[in-house]
Chain A
Amino acid sequence: MDSLHAIGFYVSSGVSLAGGLGVALLTRRGWRGAALGLVGLGLAGIYLSLSAGYAAVVALVCFAGCALMFASPQYRRVDAVVGPLWRQLGGVAAALLLAVLAYSAFRGDFAYASFYGATFGTANLGRLLFAHDALATEAVAVLVTAALVGAAAAWRARDRAR
């Protein structure tokens, strides 16, 4: 990996982690949406430096969609009934998870293999998605369809109830 790729990887990693912290800590929905877009931008950069160009494009589009949904004026808030003690326990659990995953990552240099793929490799990815693993692609397609139909039905029911 050349130095340009390395710089791109570390800058993108910083951008995506900063965006992740913003999503966790920012309170205004507009800022939260912008932070989610920042995560998508950093994630696309990480994928690009990992020679996964097509995944970068898909991640950018998906995170832009998520950011728009969170920043939209149609956004409604639903307050949780969970007390502050459980939230603090959840924060501690997230810190413990980070420690465990970081330790696992530190022990992750056990394997190295040369990569022979192209930066985009769209044709090979298409073959995998629609021929080799068509069932997984169809399962995600069903999930997307069900989610969109469910979301549309929920919005229509809310509008009718007004």
Chain B
Amino acid sequence: MPFGYHGSYLRIDVAGGGVEHVALPEAVLRQFIGGSGLGVRLLLDEGAVHAEPLAPEAPLVLAFSPLVGSPLTTSAKFAVVSKSPLTERINDSLVSSGFAIAGKGCGCDAIVLVGRAAELSVLIIDEVDVDAGGKRTKVRLESAAKYRGATCRETEAGLKADLGAGYRVASIGPAGENSVRYATISHDGRHAGRGGSGAVLGAKNIKAIALRGTQRTAWAHPSELTALSRSLSKRSFGPATAKYRELGTATNLLTFNRFGALPTRNFQSGRFEEAANISPEQLNATRSKTRKSCMACTIGCEHIYGNGKTGVRVEYESLFALGSLCGVGDSEAVLRASERCDELGLDTISTGGTIAFAMECVERGWLDEPWLRFGSGDALMRAIDLIGSREGLGNLLAEGSRRAAHKIGNNSIAIAPQVKGLEIPGYEPRALQTMALGFAVGARGADHNRSGAYEVDFSDKVDRRHVTLDAVRHAIDTEDRAALMDSLIICKFLRGVFTDFYCETAEMLRNVTGWDVNAEELRETAKRIVSAKRQFNLLAGWTPAEDTLPERILSTPLPNDSEATLSRERLDGLVAEYHRQRGW
């Protein structure tokens, strides 16, 4: 077995069907590395493509990586991989911090959960000492009855108090318990956010996973790895990460608004007249702020703004989705809404996207909920609470905008802001057309984490509002790099510090594993992982018609920017060229 791995995954049937360590061949590890890549491979091996995502037999994978536990900055991350209950396609979400280190410390490279517990439970994974100084993994279920309905934060704090501070906890909120199709899994205030992995865990009757492990894997070249880690950490303090450190992702808001790329009122506009009110620049001027880092991270991108007695972590995607997309320009309301989503365990992008869609349906007379109006912070909060509990209108909106549109009718699917069922993040596709391609072809749907094509739009490589087929290779390159980063795993906020991404990441992997891996091999590995996601989708029923954007985007120019038009013909051409270059 190479350095950096335990060489097996822990397969747990929470219905009481047993616990086993399943060997992972070295060839599989080298081909898929860890994180998202390994998770997709395990899902394929488990036959997850044919399972209904919320059925007991549907597997949920928590995948670690060879870099977890190393001194490489930002490497304390894990991937949550499953078939999405929102899209019925592949879903992989990344989340940071100590759970990754403790989970790998339980002596496994991944945890696969199947089955459904008899009652709402906490899954506790621990290690016990055995003879000759070894460790053995011990798994048990405890009733989570007292945590039913508890927020993510309450659950995590309660379990640490009950079990001991040494445990790391990943949990779902009420939304996950209630099978909201875009419920999250939360750990340490961060979320495996997109695609509904929280609903998958909830369908297994698992409120939380608490684990504690101390087993470490050795590194092949420790002194070289330490030197590389120091160099990377030093570079992570420089200009390439200044944006995240000094302002956080929220600073995108005014930039995107300036470029007419800030989705507003359910993608009816790319400019929000109240953007300045909810910008981090305004929040900085009026509120206290603290910064926080994930474990083993030197960047410190979390900017937490005071909001009454508590602090709210503010990210661009939450500000856009709960602010401009819903037409809400009251910063107090947006922060409260973001905090409430975190408590309930809701993906802020899908929450905001689905509510904004419903607001427009009300405006058009397709939905008889007159209280639900663009711009109303109170309506936004009410809708979020209804979604979390699946009460009233919330039961419809908990299904996401695509399913809701099919029930509402009136061809409202044309204005549902989604691709493959996943709500579109805060990048107006008509103004950022390389990103539009990335959204259309994304394996998990409209997604800014698996495609970084917006980088291309904000460069001199393309004309962002009139992209040509030349943009395709750039979009593919960002998708490949993202697949590799999500499998190694390292944070994407580091991407600007690399001068030669594939060479430097190959050096990391060589020093950890001892493999003679080089840049060319990692390029192929990245493509293999992207293709594996595609294979999953094909087996799950993907058709070419899914690689597209909502009708509105392809038929309506953006107001205030007549240049920002994206025809179906142009998008179809880009998608066809993407498939051709992928060899699909």
**B is bound to A:** no
B residues with a Cβ closer than 8 A to A are none
